Amino acid sequence: MFEYLTAGESHGPRLTAVIKNLPAGLRVEVEKINDELYRRQQGYGRGNRMKIESDKIIINSGLRHKETLGTPLSMTIENKDWQNWLEAMAPDKERGAEVEALTNPRPGHADLPGALKYNHRDLRNVLERASARETAARTAVGAVARQFLEEFGVNVYSHVVQIGNLKSENWTDLKAKNPESFNEQEAINNYFEKLDQTPLRCGDSTKTEAMKNLIDSWRANGDSVGGVFEIVVTGLPVGLGSHVHWDLKLESKLAAQLMGIQAIKGVEIGSGFKGAGLPGSKAHDEIYYDLNKGFYRSSNQAGGIEGGMTNGEELIIRLAMKPIPTLAKALHSADIISKKERTAAKERSDVCAVPAASIVGEAVTAIVLAQSTADKFGGDSIKEIKRNYNSYLEQLKKF
């Protein structure tokens, strides 16, 4: 379930997303999809393209009176910038003499390996699809997945924890500070990226302005900057994913799809790389039992996954994003036609897309979790899936 495809070039007419097999009877609010598209566009550090676009979803099939039909859900997002690229990106017109080929590849982008692999002599044939414009379509798919997950009380949050070398505390640090007085809902409200708030939400609000200033200084230098964001998921039941085969493990599904986001170069679950340096006595989450709560843990180093399965604790993921490859002070490159020394192409570009990517990270996480939930509880309608889910909860209660 929730298999999907996206299509579309960055400066083509529109982006398309098709979700192949959703359960019937799922309530989908178009406004909630638009909210996520809006959040993705807000991130601090973006370039001028975001002033042109104002992404809105168009539903083409699969939804009737706000409920899924169990048929393919197809959606499109118009590229407003298309109007400025009618000649350069025309699908069914011969190439005009005025359309210049782009021949100076950018280090760090798909330009050169893509041209060599696909035998293109115009780098635009590669970059148009490599572009993270595509993440708008994935965010729309994620927004549908989120609405499915909400039916099961699952919520996905994110915030920025590092810009350049400037770090802020993460969710695990925050919870460890005052475990006795920790109020989960209050912390969630204070900590995570929201629709109506600053476009760079860092849990440690004292660092938010410093992070923005850092992005501004990289922009002033004609440079770019990367960072790390953290995703936290609440409300997951025990047992999504499986230990029985490598490709059924929840981490392998999460890592594969999250690494599929443009410019993401590292995935960490729970204490991750830091955990590798801890003694075993400090690295694991001791098991307790309470008649009301059932089995629970006093810490969450595992980040909510043990043996490839959710263990009922919060899912905690951190993703490293490299600095944006297009630089105003362009890097050294070589022309693919003349083979002579040239500086890399410098198109209009973002300086930092870590806050924006955190929204894409939420969407992709929601997609993986919706897929895993549908795999475990199966069914053609949302009612059938819920029935299976509720009877599983009963089984856990009686365990």
Ligand X SMILES: Cc1cc2nc3c(=O)[nH]c(=O)nc-3n(C[C@H](O)[C@H](O)[C@H](O)COP(=O)(O)O)c2cc1C
Interface contacts to ligand X, rule CB under 6 A: 47, 108-110, 130-132, 135, 261-263, 322, 324-326, 349-350, 353, 356-357, 360
Residue 371's binding partner, choosing from ligand X, ligand EPS, none, with beta-carbon cut-off 5 to 8 A by kind?
none
Strand 166-167 and strand 155-163: the pairing is: antiparallel
27 is in an annotated binding site: no
Contact (CB, 8 A) for 229 and 265: no
Query: Which entry of ligand X, ligand EPS, none binds 10, CB below 5 to 8 A by partner kind?
Result: ligand EPS
CA neighbor of 44 nearest in space, from 178, 229, 188: 229
What does 272 bind: ligand EPS, ligand X, none (CB cut-off 5 to 8 Å by kind)? Answer: none
Minimum CB distance to ligand EPS smaller for 135 or for 371: 135
285 vs 350 by CB, closer to ligand X: 350
Rg of the chain taking only CA atoms, in angstroms: 22
DSSP letters, 79-132, are -GGGGGGTTTT-SSSPPPTT-PPP-SPPTTSSHHHHHHHHT-SSTHHHHHHHSG
Q: How far is the CB of 106 from ligand X (least distance, A)?
A: 6
φ, ψ for residue 343, nearest 5 deg: -85, 155
- Check residue 47 for interaction with ligand EPS (CB under 6 A): yes
Binding of residue 106 to ligand EPS (CB under 6 A): no
| Cβ proximity to ligand X, 90 vs 331, nearer residue | 331
Q: Tell which one of 136, 145, 225, 327 touches ligand EPS (CB under 6 A).
A: 136
Q: Known binder of ligand: residue 326? A: yes
In the chain, how long is the greatest CA-to-CA distance?
A: 76
| 375 is a contact residue toward ligand EPS (CB under 6 A) | no
Min separation Cβ 219 and ligand EPS, Å: 14
**Distance from C-alpha of 267 to C-alpha of 246, rounded to nearest angstrom:** 17
CB-nearer residue toward ligand X: 271 or 326? 326
Q: What angle do CA 339, 328, 164 make, to 5 degrees?
A: 115
**Assigned token pair, 116:** 């060599």
- We find the least distance from the C-beta atom of residue 18 to ligand EPS, in angstroms, to be 19
Binding mask 239-268 for ligand EPS (x = CB under 6 A): -----------------------x------
The least CB distance from residue 166 to ligand EPS, in Å, is 23
DSSP conformation class of 323? P
| CB-count exposure of residue 318 (10 Å: 0-12, 13-18, 19+) | buried
111 is an interface residue for ligand EPS by CB under 6 A: no
Residue 397 labelled as part of a binding site: no
Cα–Cα dist 304/93, whole Å:
53
Please list the alpha-helical segments (H only) found in 231-379: 250-259, 272-275, 280-283, 354-377
At 199, which amino acid appears? P
Site residues for ligand EPS per CB under 6 A: 10, 47, 49, 53, 131-133, 135-136, 262, 347-350
Annotated binding site for FMN: 129-131, 262-263, 307, 322-326, 348
Annotated binding site: 40, 46, 129-131, 262-263, 307, 322-326, 348
Annotated binding site for NADP(+): 40, 46
